[in-house]
């Protein structure tokens, strides 16, 4: 069955009590919220809807929420909370996930990419700056000194060294790319994909994997049958919603899918590449 084309988010929201939405490329360009998003979300909140931002960000949701509120997204007025892959990972760490990855209790891990002190504040003593001392690597945000990488080149030496040591990797951002305004840049998922393609083992946390949706549903107490996921990426947002048993809305006027369409792909070709279709198609949130 082909996706239903809708003109506004308000066209279908009477069917749903809870809205999960991606952030980058859907409601946010990396610096500001897109026109129309705040008004639409405020109208939905006045209708009694619950709105949660479900992000593959490796940081914790409270920090994302603070940043969003400084930019004008008001808690209780426009949204009800942030849930990130970082939150999901932190919850899994508390249940022994890193011990399982390392196959030992007294483990050490090395970060490839930017340090993440809030995420690892309870286990900071287990971080090592030497790959030779590590039991596994954590692939973090690849942004270094506020520079968004246009290639993986600067990370390849560490990835190759980790491969030679046969270290497993953990990645809490399965996105391959993201946008900062009009700039498309590499994210942690690209490094983890490279690692797997070269023979390494990677453990993935976040969309499209069910772990982040299970965590979000548990936190929000959402009814799956009355929840819809909005995203710009078939591979993560839409496939993740499908894997979790949720309806979905694909944004085609901004973000990753819009970029693919602008570069010559058709929607049918996008569907074939990712072997998934959304429930609805929407140009932009309005």
Domain CATH code at residue 241: 3.40.50.1000
Residues 184, 109 share a domain: yes
**Which of 176, 204, 232 represents a domain boundary (last residue)?**
204
Residues 143, 82 share a domain: no
Residues 231, 198 share a domain: no
Residues 76, 112 share a domain: no
pLDDT tens figures, 164-215: 999 999 999 999 988 777 778 899 999 999 999 999 999 999 999 999 999 9
Q: How many domains does the chain have?
A: 2
Structural domain includes residue 92: no
Residues 9, 28 share a domain: yes
Length of the chain: 286
Dihedral sign, Cα of residue 167, residue 168, residue 172, residue 174: positive
Residues 36, 132 share a domain: no
CA 246 – CA 242 distance, rounded (Å): 6
pLDDT at residue 86, rounded to an integer: 96
Residues 229, 195 share a domain: no
Structural domain includes residue 173: yes
Closest alpha carbon to 129 in 138, 118, 141: 138
pLDDT at residue 107, rounded to an integer: 98
**Which of 144, 177, 204 represents a domain boundary (last residue)?**
204
Structural domain includes residue 267: yes
CA 177 – CA 190 distance, rounded (Å): 7
Residue 17: burial class (beta carbons within 10 Å; 0-12, 13-18, 19+): middle
Where does the chain show beta strands of DSSP type E?
4-5, 18-21, 50-55, 81-84, 109-112, 136-139, 169-171, 177-180, 183-186, 202-204, 227-231, 247-251, 280-282
Q: Which domain holds residue 193?
A: 97-204
Q: What is the DSSP letter of 34?
A: P
Residues 173, 119 share a domain: yes
Residues 16, 67 share a domain: yes
**pLDDT tier at 16 (50, 70, 90 boundaries)?**
very high
Strand-pairing partners, residue 227, are 18
- For 130, half-sphere exposure in the C-beta direction (CA atoms, 13 angstrom radius) is 2
Residues 171, 117 share a domain: yes
pLDDT tens figures, 215-234: 999 999 999 999 999 999 99
**pLDDT tier at 149 (50, 70, 90 boundaries)?**
confident
What one-character-per-residue DSSP string does 190-214 give? HHHHHHHHTT--EEE-STTSHHHHH
Q: Is the pTM of this model over 0.85?
A: yes
Rounded to 5 degrees, φ, ψ at 217 are -65, -35
Residues 224, 128 share a domain: no
**pLDDT tier at 13 (50, 70, 90 boundaries)?**
confident
pLDDT tens figures, 45-92: 999 999 999 999 999 999 999 999 999 999 999 999 999 999 999 999
Residues 59, 12 share a domain: yes
CA 133 – CA 148 distance, rounded (Å): 28
């Amino acid at each position: 069955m082909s996706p239903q084309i809708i003109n506004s988010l308000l066209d279908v929201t009477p069917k749903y009590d809870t809205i999960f939405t991606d952030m980058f490329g859907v409601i946010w360009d990396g610096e500001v919220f897109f026109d129309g998003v705040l008004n639409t979300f405020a109208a939905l909140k006045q209708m009694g809807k619950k709105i949660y931002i479900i992000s593959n960000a490796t940081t914790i949701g409270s920090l994302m929420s603070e940043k969003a509120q400084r930019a004008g997204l008001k808690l209780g007025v426009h949204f009800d909370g942030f849930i990130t892959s970082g939150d999901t990972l932190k919850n899994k760490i508390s249940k022994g996930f890193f011990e399982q990855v390392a196959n030992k209790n007294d483990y050490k891990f090395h970060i490839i990419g930017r340090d993440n002190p809030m995420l690892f504040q309870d286990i900071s003593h287990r971080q090592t700056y030497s790959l030779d001392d590590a039991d596994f690597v954590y692939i973090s945000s690849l942004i270094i000194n506020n520079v968004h990488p246009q290639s993986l080149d600067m990370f390849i030496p560490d990835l190759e060294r980790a491969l030679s040591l046969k270290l497993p990797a953990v990645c809490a951002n399965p996105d391959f790319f993201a946008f900062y305004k009009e700039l498309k840049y590499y994210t942690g998922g690209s490094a983890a994909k490279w690692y797997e393609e070269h023979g390494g083992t990677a453990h993935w946390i976040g969309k499209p994997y069910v772990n982040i949706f299970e965590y979000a549903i548990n936190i929000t107490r959402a009814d799956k049958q009355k929840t819809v996921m909005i995203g710009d990426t078939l591979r993560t947002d839409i496939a993740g919603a499908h894997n979790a048993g949720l309806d979905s809305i694909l944004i085609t006027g901004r973000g990753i899918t819009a970029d693919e369409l602008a570069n010559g792909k058709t929607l049918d070709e996008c569907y074939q590449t990712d072997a998934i279709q959304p429930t609805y198609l929407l140009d932009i949130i309005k």
